A and B are shown apart, each in its own frame.
Chain A
């Protein structure tokens, strides 16, 4: 078969798509996955796709996972592209996570946290042994009887206990760096919106947190880990981790009153970090904050560590590690952007490569000409030297 340049018409693209669909379906004898199955039995995948896809819709996320052949980054990309077609109708009121139907809540900094702790559904203390019984189907698992936690009541934040003693700096809210009392942050200027405005650096915490909330879990995990290993160290404690359902409330101007539009599951993490203080600020604790759609604890914890690392510039700390470098973190956290640019190398680049070919041939011919010149010059020189030697010996 002779060499054929990779140019393809519509037919080739259509065939590739049809092939992908067939491969994705797999063996026809095996029943097709239903969206309900994905939504029910692969909830953590659905949660990750909603978080990184920046759209809370478990049904669409399940569809994206099915369509993406189980590739979660691709699924998040599908959700993002769909998101583009949706108008932004309202901004919700800030979520009140102190009023949460709590499924899980732990604190690592006090033996007893006011409001109590609850492990909830977690892998944390499970032995990671392959459960071969699970390989059999028709499993019937019964949830243990729920306790009084299921009632929706206000649960005070652990960090509040520290704040009462003035031991923790309320983090800057973005708009207002010199603001020490931010209890009232909702009343301030509208927050930045990274989905409607172009993120430019240097930026503020509101934009940073939005970027991190939909950033790639793997990237944030590695960045967070790097701070623990000394690249921008600020020893963290898990002040509080909670997961559960909260109400989303909007207040349309034309109505003038608030209405709840949805209950969504979120994971919220407040880290408490050491801070040695500076000239202006006495030593106290600082906070890192993480919030994700769904049950997404590893991501929320990583986010909180990176949020704290990125406060370095506001706190006047020296910026030594990549996790503290705002531009580095924010411009490389988005996996939709990253996967696209890395994979675009698959597109034809033969024009630029041709230009490089022409150039390298020129550079090599320059080099060879110079070598030839140098060789003949040194040959002449040697010749001259031997002549002169002859002269001196003569």
Chain B
């Protein structure tokens, strides 16, 4: 319930919480990482193909997972097929480790793999994400798995996949540029805030998943292996390390990212993606980092303890 008081939202000290949890024995009754080995192998084959053709969508025989389609089943299957006992897993949703869906997916992998988990981006070997790329730069050797609702970048221009496949084959991306151009003539700027299409390796038009355009530049020449899993649409694609990823733009309308007139309320960052948090029903707002790990690390570096939004 929203009250009319303008008191600030409650914050908790997270100094006592465990940011990293060591491995445990997985729950009996499941194969390691839920999927059987044959299925994992078939998914890894699709991943290898995807790595070989950066940005190109590879069909794979997506399975029903114990979570709903649309809730990260593609990312979960990719993670399940590459995860090993030695891995340290980080799961984020909206940039945060403590959102319900992130907690739930982490809980799932704890149950069926027993792997170590962490909230620290730099400690993770495998990171599954929905809607964000962490502010802390990714490193060589890390695998970064995106959950993808709609892998086809052309779907709002050409809903038929049969036709869209032809357009990819012929590199026929004119209609996408026309759509962006129409935005400019209509609104004076490209009106895509997320799902902003990118060209991978100068060949394949790719949907970066619904990350904000703010994160698009982080994909370019990234040292980590970036894997994309779309469970419901049954497609996998990839950006191998150090691959060129360019956000579509025009010479006279270069690609740009949004910025804020505010700094993070907790850590003072001005270079991170900020969430606008409504704090009362009088129009009161505060701005905080969407990347909870980044924010807390900066706070700890400054004062030794960290605040976060909580109950």
Q: Which residues of A contact B (CB under 8 A)?
A: 1-10, 12-13, 77, 80-81, 83-85, 87, 195-202, 327, 331, 336-337, 339-344, 347-352, 354-359, 362-363, 366
Contacts of B34 in A (CB 8 A): 84-85
Interface string of B108-138 (1 = CB under 8 A from A): 0000000000000000000000111000000
Interface string of B187-200 (1 = CB under 8 A from A): 11101011100000
Interface locus among B2-10, B47-55, B239-247, B297-305: B2-10
Q: Do B99 and A355 touch (CB < 8 A)?
A: no
Q: Do A347 and B63 touch (CB < 8 A)?
A: no
Q: Tell me if B210 counts as interface (CB < 8 A to partner A).
A: yes
Contacts of A202 in B (CB 8 A): 162
Contacts of B9 in A (CB 8 A): 2-5
Interface string of B1-32 (1 = CB under 8 A from A): 11101011110000000000000000000110
Counting chain B residues whose Cβ lies within 8 A of the other chain, the interface size class is 35 or more
6 contacts between A and B (CB under 8 A): A2-B5, A2-B10, A344-B70, A351-B211, A355-B213, A359-B193
B101 touches which of A83, A87, A347 (Cβ 8 Å): A347
Instruction: Quote the shortest CB–CB distance from A296 to chain B (angstroms).
Output: 20
B131 touches which of A195, A331, A349 (Cβ 8 Å): A349
Contacts of A83 in B (CB 8 A): 64
Contacts of A362 in B (CB 8 A): 189
Q: Do A355 and B194 touch (CB < 8 A)?
A: yes
* Separation of A295 and B104 alpha carbons in the complex (Å): 38
Q: Do A340 and B36 touch (CB < 8 A)?
A: no
Q: Tell me if B310 counts as interface (CB < 8 A to partner A).
A: yes
Residue of B nearest to A345 (CB): B70
* Separation of A81 and B66 alpha carbons in the complex (Å): 5
Q: Do B101 and A85 touch (CB < 8 A)?
A: no
Q: Do A340 and B193 touch (CB < 8 A)?
A: no
A-B contact count (CB 8 A): 166
Contacts of B96 in A (CB 8 A): 7
* Separation of A354 and B289 alpha carbons in the complex (Å): 12
Q: Do B68 and A85 touch (CB < 8 A)?
A: no
Contacts of A4 in B (CB 8 A): 9-10, 311
Contacts of B8 in A (CB 8 A): 2
User: Which 6 A/B pairs are nearest by Cβ-Cβ distance?
Assistant: A344-B70, A340-B69, A198-B59, A355-B193, A340-B68, A80-B64
Instruction: Quote the shortest CB–CB distance from A297 to chain B (angstroms).
Output: 26
Q: Do A7 and B232 touch (CB < 8 A)?
A: no
Q: Do A344 and B71 touch (CB < 8 A)?
A: yes
Q: Which residues of B contact A (CB under 8 A)?
A: 1-3, 5, 7-10, 30-31, 34-36, 38-39, 59-66, 68-71, 73, 93-96, 98-101, 103-104, 107, 130-132, 149, 160-162, 165, 187-189, 191, 193-195, 210-214, 232, 234-235, 258, 260, 273-280, 290, 309-311
* Separation of A327 and B165 alpha carbons in the complex (Å): 13
* Separation of A350 and B188 alpha carbons in the complex (Å): 25
Q: Do A359 and B191 touch (CB < 8 A)?
A: yes
Contacts of B5 in A (CB 8 A): 2
Most buried by B among A3, A337, A349, A358: A3
A7 touches which of B234, B235, B278, B310 (Cβ 8 Å): B310
Q: Do B69 and A352 touch (CB < 8 A)?
A: no
Most buried by B among A84, A196, A351, A358: A351
* Separation of A201 and B233 alpha carbons in the complex (Å): 12
Q: Do B275 and A195 touch (CB < 8 A)?
A: no
* Separation of A305 and B278 alpha carbons in the complex (Å): 52
Q: Do B232 and A13 touch (CB < 8 A)?
A: no
User: 20 more A-B contacts (CB under 8 A) besides A5-B9, A195-B61, A347-B130?
Assistant: A2-B9, A3-B9, A7-B96, A7-B98, A10-B107, A84-B34, A84-B63, A84-B65, A85-B36, A198-B59, A202-B162, A339-B69, A340-B69, A341-B69, A351-B210, A354-B276, A355-B214, A359-B191, A362-B189, A366-B189
